[in-house]
Amino acid sequence: MSAANITLCKDYSASHQLHLVGYSLIFIGGLFLNVAAIWIFLYYLKLKSVVSFYMLNLAVSDLLFTISLPFRIYYYYKGEWPFGNVLCQISGSVFQINMYGSCLFLMCINLDRFVAIVYPLRWRHLRRPKVARLLCLVVWVLILMGSVPVAGVHRTTECVKHNKSITLCFESFSDGLWQKGLFPLVILAEILGFLLPLTAVMYCSIRIFQKLCQADTIHSMRQQKTIRMLVVNLIIFIICFVPYNVILAAYGMIKARVIQAEPAMRDSVRQALVVTVVLTSMNCTLDPLIYYFNTEGFRNTLKKLRRGQAWDSEIGTVQNRVAEERSCKAAIRVKPGAKKILVQDSILRSESLPFAPPKLFLNSPIEDSEI
């Protein structure tokens, strides 16, 4: 390396420590929550409703980013990227896939609620599983196509620290790169992957609120569930996606020389971008709140699994495995002359549901919009 081409390494220790702690916590929480969510969706709920397709794909997107975090954690711990250029490109692309994929899948969930509540009859054909699968496929195609140019700009760079060459990743995008290819790419991604979903989520939320405020439209319990879902979606957008995308646009305009800024201002914007990157990654741990608080089947499945019970996705009930096992053991121990007493005793133990002793029905029915 000639003296003219030597680039001294900047001090990234503060941002690396923040990313190290943040990504470590996100990896632990995101891995457990999203694996559990996918397992429940596929094994117990069987994807019986339209909104479950969107939530499953959202969980897959979160899990995909979560399993890529160990590479980032090691990099921020060591301060050097030892995994080569290809994994650097893949790691950078997966972050974009998760962020914009999450925005689009959250938009699909809100659109589904909008159709179900505001236009339940006119547009009910849009709430078919075939349409949901098609929309999920379109979202994946869009975000995967968008990840290709992102991979092209996420390349490893070299710098010198203590007379030693260091390989960096996710750092040091030059002004020339911002002006030539990166800034137009950011603007396109901001419009399609952030502004479009944000506008759709805001519009759908306002229309749904207006519909729910009308008298005698929906029962109060369902109003609460729908409002809770809207609030959680808006919180995720406001905390995770709005700060990062706004600051990214501002930082891109500074780096591309669209607007002039002093070096101190540029450094401050970059530090804000470092913090908001961690906030954006938190959506992997916040998205499962949508599944838990807004879907009856998901919430009851978790509760019943802790009690040794299982969700029956065919008829919307919870099967009490523990009770059945105990009744079977009692039947084995009983003497032949006590059969009649055993039957009466088993009916008395399930007196709350005399016509279906093996089943424990939920307090509220599973509606078409729920899982």
Domains and CATH numbers, the chain: 3-294 (1.20.1070.10), 305-360 (no CATH)
Could you count the other beta carbons within 10 Å of the beta carbon of residue 351?
A: 8
Could you count the other beta carbons within 10 Å of the beta carbon of residue 302?
A: 16
Question: Given this model, what pLDDT does residue 353 score?
Answer: 44
Q: Radius of gyration of the chain from Cα atoms?
A: 26
Pairing of strands 157-161, 164-168: antiparallel
Nearest CA among 131, 203, 169 for reference residue 19: 169
Nearest CA among 319, 282, 294 for reference residue 370: 294
Question: Given this model, what pLDDT does residue 68 score?
Answer: 93
Q: How does pLDDT run along the chain (371 residues), one tens digit per residue?
A: 444 456 777 878 888 999 999 999 999 999 999 998 898 888 877 777 788 889 999 999 999 999 999 999 999 998 889 998 899 999 989 999 999 999 999 999 999 889 988 888 888 888 888 899 999 999 999 999 988 888 888 888 888 887 888 888 887 666 667 767 778 888 888 898 999 999 999 999 999 888 887 755 555 666 777 777 788 888 888 999 999 999 999 988 888 888 888 888 888 888 899 899 999 999 999 988 877 766 666 666 666 666 655 544 444 444 444 444 454 444 445 445 544 444 344 434 444 444 444 333 333 333 343 43
CA 181 to chain centre: 29
Residue 93, C-beta contacts closer than 8 angstroms, at least 6 positions apart: 147, 148, 150, 151, 154
Measured between alpha carbons, how far is residue 344 from residues 238, 325, 326, 350 in Å?
58, 18, 16, 10
Question: Given this model, what pLDDT does residue 127 score?
Answer: 83
Tokens of 336: 């032949």
Query: What's the chain's length in residues?
Result: 371
Using CA atoms, how far apart are residues 84 and 296, in angstroms rounded to an integer?
A: 45
Using CA atoms, how far apart are residues 79 and 244, in angstroms rounded to an integer?
A: 23
Question: Given this model, what pLDDT does residue 295 score?
Answer: 64
Cα-based torsion angle of the residue sequence 277, 244, 107, 100 in order, rounded to the nearest 10 degrees: -50
